Structure 1
């Protein structure tokens, strides 16, 4: 059995005990000298010396509050800025070669083209009907003018008959005939006007048929609505598309959106246009601005949707990647202190102890804002505070302390 290590440990323990607990006795004995002069008068220790003897020695720092950017941290994911599934509005067989997913397309590029079949013939027929309807307008207007001329002649004859009848030169039969002629002419004018209206209606109907036939032909070509990437292959050559059939899916990734959900307790801290920084799961950092802030909370989670728009010209970011988002919020006044300064009171409240009035300890509750490599940022303290960082666990409120100050970072 090795007894030397045990003896060495015992001697070290005795030395530590003497140095810590018997330090005053040892120093007093070393410094005291016997009194040889009977005229020497020993004085009583002063009141300040007595108070210092009862005070607990602690180490503190003098901290001044500073404004920090208390960014709001949320987790979210990337989403394409725009995404659309292009569907057919008509039926037909695909006659275009397919484009493979991942291909870049620009607005207006034809993705799917359908067989026109008889649609061009239907358009030609509608155009012919429109031309025929337009030829009926002059004929109807000529009939209307003829009827108006007959009405004018009948009215002249009727006026003459009425004047002759008043002088006794025309019979009542003649007057009745002229009046009947006026009524007949008026009916012809109304019929002619109706004919003109019917001809114009025929033109409008023919124009609608032409527009419908042209629109049906336009629907044969399904084009990309914006610049983007194909997320799926386009419809295969020879396949039959029915109304609602999928042609392709196009997504736009520049710019891209970062989407997260903010608790209702923090939503008031975010404003539109606020700067945001995000770290992707790959380690890449991106920056953007808040572009959307929901006004309606999710019914289940009671959180609000927030979107950040981020430039993505190289298409490095993909749809559906997870990310940690830091949104800039209004700064707070806080103190940067070491973690060792934190303690709990008897009620379990998190806080620190400071050197209060008359050098007595005082507990102050704090709020942890941020944890960094340099220390922790705490709110809830006065603008200037003497915070105890060593010894706060062995004192309570009102206990006198004798602080030794050190600089932060030591």
Structure 2
């Protein structure tokens, strides 16, 4: 007999036995096995869910930042401007008789720039002086006429009084009294004419003096001098050139003091005060320092900005007129956080800010205002005194999401 058919027969008999005689036990076993498997599967699912939840938290890197007080500054883009600049022009006509001075030369205050041909002006001055002397000579004669007229009046008063008394007593005729009265009126008229002569003589003197002053002033205009010390920006008028009133002789600029000129936006004008310290960095690397000496109280109609001027010493004349400058004006200190520029992000509305970690490791977006951009990072305000700022991974999370943070040290 073969072994395999016998084994198969025994297995079949055992199965029949269980189905026929142990049916209840087989059904109970069949129902209990799936329950156990179900429990095991449920436990495994819970474990998988727990593992899956732990793995779904996004890992981010955050920094615990504490606000610090920094010196705030208003940063402007501007230019340098000469403290004074003037184009000296002629006030009269004439030919230039002086040698020209070349541009770039240093000119002291009162130094000759252009000299004009006097022409007949000296003769006009001499004539005016002669007329003044003639007018002055008429004054004594007019004053003598006044004295003579006063004497005649006194004589006429005596005669008139005598004639009145004699006429009252009947010793003089009416004709004599009338004659005395006429003499008195004539003497009074002579006095008035004499006094008019004195006034006319005085007027003649004043007119002659005005003519002398005018002629002398015309001669003074022939010499054009520097109103202040500075550098010649242009050549002076060439020898032989014809000058007319208003014709430029030369342009002078003063650079021993120079102005830094910028324009402050409306939002920052309240941060700028007269006398505040200010510095500037020029395009050639030069640095300058001074104080705010002017702040406009009227905004530009087009740009709505306010002109501000900073006066800087420039004794060595190293700074030229018209250079581009970056101007920093000191203002009151403010508390701010120093964060990496890469930490800044935008929300859905385009508002600039940072994402932070709130209670329960929940992400929160907070808007910020940039105060200053430096090589170490960006100084921002409008944040609490102490805050946890996400520096890595902030672009992969949104507000209200729970994260798994790793903290690093804040920037120095």
TM-score between the two structures when normalised by the length of structure 1: 0.83
Q: What residue in structure 1 maps to residue 290 of structure 2?
A: 288
Q: What residue in structure 1 maps to residue 193 of structure 2?
A: 191
Q: How is 1:233-248 mapped onto 2 (pairs within 5 angstroms)?
A: 233-248=235-250
Deviation at 1:94? 1.3
Tell me if the contact between 2:272 and 2:331 (Cα under 8 Å) persists in the aligned partners.
yes
CA distance in 2, matches of 1:340, 1:211: 77
Of 98, 105, 110, which residue of structure 2 is paired with 1:108? 110
Q: What residue in structure 2 maps to residue 28 of structure 1?
A: none
Q: Which runs of 4+ in 1 moved over 6 A?
A: 51-55
The question of 1:173 aligning with 2:144 is answered no
CA distance in 2, matches of 1:141, 1:161: 30
Q: What residue in structure 1 maps to residue 161 of structure 2?
A: 159
CA distance in 1, matches of 2:136, 2:349: 94
CA distance in 2, matches of 1:246, 1:354: 67
Deviation at 1:319? 1.4
CA distance in 1, matches of 2:361, 2:129: 101
Instruction: Spell out, residue by residue over 1:70-118, the C-alpha distance to the aligned partner (whole angstroms, 9 max, x if none).
Output: 3222222222111111111111121111111111010110111111122
Of 311, 332, 338, which residue of structure 1 is paired with 2:313? 311
Q: How is 1:252-401 mapped onto 2 (pairs within 5 angstroms)?
A: 252-401=254-403
CA distance in 1, matches of 2:68, 2:157: 102
CA distance in 2, matches of 1:348, 1:297: 30
Q: What residue in structure 1 maps to residue 15 of structure 2?
A: none
The question of 1:89 aligning with 2:85 is answered no
Tell me if the contact between 1:369 and 1:378 (Cα under 8 Å) persists in the aligned partners.
yes
Q: How is 1:75-86 mapped onto 2 (pairs within 5 angstroms)?
A: 75-86=77-88
CA distance in 2, matches of 1:237, 1:262: 47
Instruction: Spell out, residue by residue over 1:183-224, the C-alpha distance to the aligned partner (whole angstroms, 9 max, x if none).
Output: 111000000000000000010011001101110110110000
CA distance in 2, matches of 1:301, 1:339: 29
Tell me if the contact between 2:338 and 2:411 (Cα under 8 Å) persists in the aligned partners.
no
CA distance in 2, matches of 1:225, 1:376: 49
Q: Which SS does the other structure have where 2:328 is aligned?
A: strand
Moved more, 155-164 or 191-200: 155-164
Moved more, 208-217 or 303-312: 303-312
Q: What residue in structure 2 maps to residue 59 of structure 1?
A: 61
Q: How many residues align?
A: 364
Instruction: Spell out, residue by residue over 1:250-282, the C-alpha distance to the aligned partner (whole angstroms, 9 max, x if none).
Output: 111110112222223322222222221111111
Tell me if the contact between 1:54 and 1:400 (Cα under 8 Å) persists in the aligned partners.
no
CA distance in 2, matches of 1:172, 1:403: 137
CA distance in 2, matches of 1:216, 1:134: 23
CA distance in 2, matches of 1:232, 1:59: 64
TM-score between the two structures when normalised by the length of structure 2: 0.82
CA distance in 2, matches of 1:245, 1:59: 73
CA distance in 2, matches of 1:374, 1:217: 68
Tell me if the contact between 1:52 and 1:402 (Cα under 8 Å) persists in the aligned partners.
no
CA distance in 1, matches of 2:350, 2:303: 29
**Structure 2 unpaired stretches of 5+:** 1-46, 48-52
Q: Which SS does the other structure have where 1:176 is aligned?
A: helix
CA distance in 2, matches of 1:232, 1:343: 54
Larger Rg over CA atoms: 2
Q: What residue in structure 1 maps to residue 233 of structure 2?
A: 231
Q: What residue in structure 2 maps to residue 30 of structure 1?
A: none
